């Protein structure tokens, strides 16, 4: 198989993208997060399969050394559609949510974790592949909602149009990455058992969509959305396409004196914990 899977059979597993490490965080914090995520997986009894492409080889279960090599050598940022191109050309590539869900499903991983998903960018015809992949692949995705830099209203409407199921984990509101509240209501669940009951129903009715499990950023790390919006208005966009998100996230870190970075790290850690709990109970069911 074209994918090198290092997953131990019979053990719960969570798939995780590489873009969050390679393009979403400073190198030091990225490696610390990787180590912490692996520590959580050992404590909670599941496997964390970080998925990336190294010199044209798809790897599910990357090591710290491989992740560092990708950061050092550079890596394209790829969604589902670019996978065959970078593989054929023998390139390094960091997977986004869409590519991670697609590759995870090829090797039987049903639970995927991220920080925030892509969506519709403001003022342009720019819709993330994350949404289209979620509209056609059955999986469980644990995230803290969509990234705060997006057109929230347009993205929320697109999620409905694409029939992507949303549930708030112990929240009634759709979270916005750094922010816990958006003013948009979602069905609420209180525990993992409720998540799995919904997912099993999706299987029974053959609904080939990704179930978004929305886990808000911890309250003590929240950066309110109105503050994020005010800051975004001050930023002059100097890039386009896949470079927009990392550019804006980096600018926000600078403008908030690191508060958005702390929020990002905190929500990612909590999402890994929740995804692991879901994977463990899914394996037992």
Q: What mean pLDDT comes out for the span 176-202? A: 96
> In 3-state terms, what secondary structure has residue 28?
helix
Residues annotated as catalytic are 17, 147
CA–CA distances in Å: residue 245 to residues 67, 119, 146, 222, 237: 20, 11, 12, 19, 10
Residue 143 has pLDDT above 70, yes or no: yes
- Helix pair angle (27-44, 259-284), 10° resolution: 30
pLDDT for res 257: 94
| Cα angle: 86, vertex 91, 93; to 5 degrees | 75
pLDDT bracket for residue 149 (50, 70, 90):
confident
What is the reported pLDDT for 160?
96
Tokens of 86: 């970078």
DSSP calls for 35-56: HHHHHHHHHHT-EEEEEEEETT
Whether the per-residue pLDDT at 2 is higher than 70: the answer is: yes
Question: Where is average pLDDT lowest: 32-46, 119-133, 227-241?
Answer: 227-241
The mean pLDDT of the chain is 94
Q: Name beta bridge partners: 14.
A: 48, 111
List domains and CATH numbers for the chain: 3-284 (3.40.1790.10)
Q: List, as residue ranges, the binding site for substrate.
A: 77, 97, 128-130
Question: What average pLDDT does range 246-263 have in this prediction?
Answer: 91
pLDDT given at position 122: 81
pLDDT: which is higher, 242 or 83: 83
- What is the model's pLDDT at position 146? 94
pLDDT of residue 49 exceeding 90, the answer is: yes
Please determine, for residue 113, whether its predicted confidence score (pLDDT) is greater than 90.
yes
End-to-end CA distance of the chain: 28
Query: Mean pLDDT, to the nearest integer, of 57-62?
Result: 97
Q: What is the predicted pLDDT for the residue at 239?
A: 73
Percent pLDDT > 90 in the chain is 85
Reply yes or no on whether the pLDDT at 123 is more than 80: no
pLDDT band, residue 99 (cuts 50/70/90) = very high
For residue 148, the model assigns a pLDDT of 79
- What b/e sequence results for 195-213 when a residue is b if at least 16 CB atoms lie within 10 Å of its CB, and e otherwise? bbeebeebeeeeeebbbbb
- Alpha carbon distance 91, 243 (integer Å): 18
Mean of pLDDT values over 118-128: 83
Between 233 and 257, the more confident residue is 257
**How confident is the model over 203-240, as pLDDT tens digits?**
999 999 999 999 999 999 999 999 998 988 888 777 77
Whether residue 124 has pLDDT greater than 80 = no
Per residue in 16-33, is it b (16+ CB within 10 Å) or e — as a string? bbbbbbbbbbeeebbbeb
Residue 249: per-residue pLDDT: 83
* pLDDT score at 235: 85
């Amino acid at each position: 198989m074209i994918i090198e899977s290092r997953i131990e059979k019979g053990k719960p597993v969570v798939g995780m993208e590489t873009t969050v490490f390679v393009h979403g965080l400073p190198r030091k914090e990225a490696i610390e997060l990787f180590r912490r995520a692996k520590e959580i997986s050992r404590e909670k009894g599941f496997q964390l399969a970080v998925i990336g492409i190294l010199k044209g080889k798809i790897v599910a279960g990357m090591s710290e050394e491989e992740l560092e090599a990708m950061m050092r050598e550079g890596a394209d940022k790829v969604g589902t559609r670019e996978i065959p191109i970078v593989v054929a050309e023998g390139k390094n590539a960091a997977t986004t949510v869409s590519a991670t869900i697609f590759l995870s499903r090829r090797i039987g991983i049903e639970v995927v974790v991220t920080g925030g998903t892509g969506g519709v960018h403001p003022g342009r015809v720019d819709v993330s592949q994350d949404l289209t992949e979620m509209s056609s692949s059955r999986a469980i995705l644990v995230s803290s909602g969509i990234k705060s830099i997006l057109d929230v209203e347009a993205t929320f409407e697109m999620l409905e149009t694409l029939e992507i199921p949303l549930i708030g984990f112990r929240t009634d509101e759709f979270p916005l990455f750094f922010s816990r509240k958006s003013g948009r209501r979602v069905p609420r669940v209180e525990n993992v058992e409720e998540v799995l009951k919904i997912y099993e129903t999706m299987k029974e009715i053959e609904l080939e969509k990704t179930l978004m499990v929305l886990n808000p950023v911890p309250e003590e790390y929240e950066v309110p959305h109105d503050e994020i919006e005010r800051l975004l208005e001050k930023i002059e966009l100097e890039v386009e396409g896949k470079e927009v998100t990392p550019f804006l996230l980096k600018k926000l870190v600078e403008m908030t004196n690191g508060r958005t970075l702390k929020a990002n790290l905190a929500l990612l850690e909590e999402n890994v914990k929740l995804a692991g709990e879901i994977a463990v109970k899914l394996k037992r069911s």
